[in-house]
Amino acid sequence: MVGSIEEMGRNYSNGSIQNCNGLEEKLDEFRCLLRKADGDPLRIVGVGAGAWGSVFAALLQDNYGQYREKVQIRIWRRPGRAVDRTTAEHLFEVINSREDVLRRLIRRCAYLKYVEARLGDRTLYADEILKDGFCLNMINTPLCPLKVVTNLQEAVWDADIVVNGLPSTETREVFEEISHYWKERITVPIIISLAKGIEAALDPVPHIITPTQMINRATGVPMEKILYLGGPNIASEIYNKEYANARICGAEKWRKPLAKFLRQPHFIVWDNSDLVTHEVMGGLKNVYAIGAGMVAALTNESATSKSVYFAHCTSEMIFITHLLAEEPEKLAGPLLADTYVTLLKGRNAWYGQMLAKGELSLDMGDSISGKGMIQGVSAVEAFYELLSQSSLNVLHPEGNKPVAPVELCPILKTLYKILISREQSSQAILKALRDENLNDPRERIEIAQTHAFYKPSLLGQP
């Protein structure tokens, strides 16, 4: 499938350290838990090849790929997406700037095709470059080469672990197709979902549908075998072995062994039982990241404006957690950490910046070449739609009358008017931020903490 570690052309100076950490022992332990027989490899399949999905598969390949008889790692993506000439030229520059990558491609006799593609004499395809270790949304971070499958049935039919690296907007459709290939299975696989984003459903009562719930409904795989893996982290930093965190959420039977299986010296994996709320929060932070990018661009990176925005957006998020969680204080740490890293260095913040600078327009859609799906856009619409429902009314502290929760979320309302209804320009985010009638963020947090706002129906619970 892939050459030896040396042939991959990367610097594996920490290989001895990894062996000392008992990689093979961890693999054997997890295989035993799944009752894998000798000679029957553990089959791990990534579905979707965006930045996070590709890095996650490459991380596993990097770690365990040397044990070929015990584990098989591959990734599925749709075939046939051509790489444009600008991307090919940039890819060629990245290759030439990395001696290890250059040597790897020359050894694999792949270098010439990138030269030809740069000159326009050859068409490169996304699935093809992924086989050589490049993700379209992360060209500057060469990955280890991956085994790429473009036939979905071939990819998933016998998988032991399926990693959902699809955007939330595509998860339902793809897993409905996958369900057809699992009809004859005696046992169902473990599914780890990396997707961030939600859908809004209004009947029979307003509630949130998350990617893990979409997968459960599409495939019939029980929720105890579906887990969510979230931040705070940045995909490229993880692959470059910078310190990173993740949190795997779900049933104890699988989340604790998976946390151990995935953990590395530079990649610390915590575990938590509260799957749905963490998953929803993973989508919510993308909403406010777009606004953060707008504020940064419109104020020339003003530290004060950005900090004031952070205070307001986190107070809204804390208010929303009190609607979603019975014990919201348990979410404070991961919520703030994941929000902060996304505001600092995430594609949603980048998207907000580009919109405010006029370098992107809303008419271009929310799937951007070189960045992938901007999940915050659909999340803005979903959260606004849900929180504007009168059946979820809360008591407004000033007028002492019931109002829809969105009325206490002025930043969310403004983002909806900019991105979805398009009533206002990006400048509106500054007007909202500097409105003299805008309450101190502390007051919104106090309201949330002193009122019983918990709405279990929002998460589809009785």
Q: How many residues does the chain have?
A: 462
Beta bridge partners of 72: 43
Instruction: Please tell me which residue in 285, 413, 417, 455 is annotated as part of the active site.
Output: 285
Contact 179, 218 (CB under 8 A): yes
Q: Tell me the CA distances in angstroms from 235 to 54, 143, 247, 267, one per residue in order.
A: 9, 11, 14, 11
> Is 285 designated active site?
yes
Determine if the peptide bond prior to 232 is cis (ω within 30°).
yes
**Could you give the angle at the alpha carbon of 243 between the alpha carbons of 26 and 45, nearest 5°?**
45
- Residues annotated catalytic, as ranges: 285
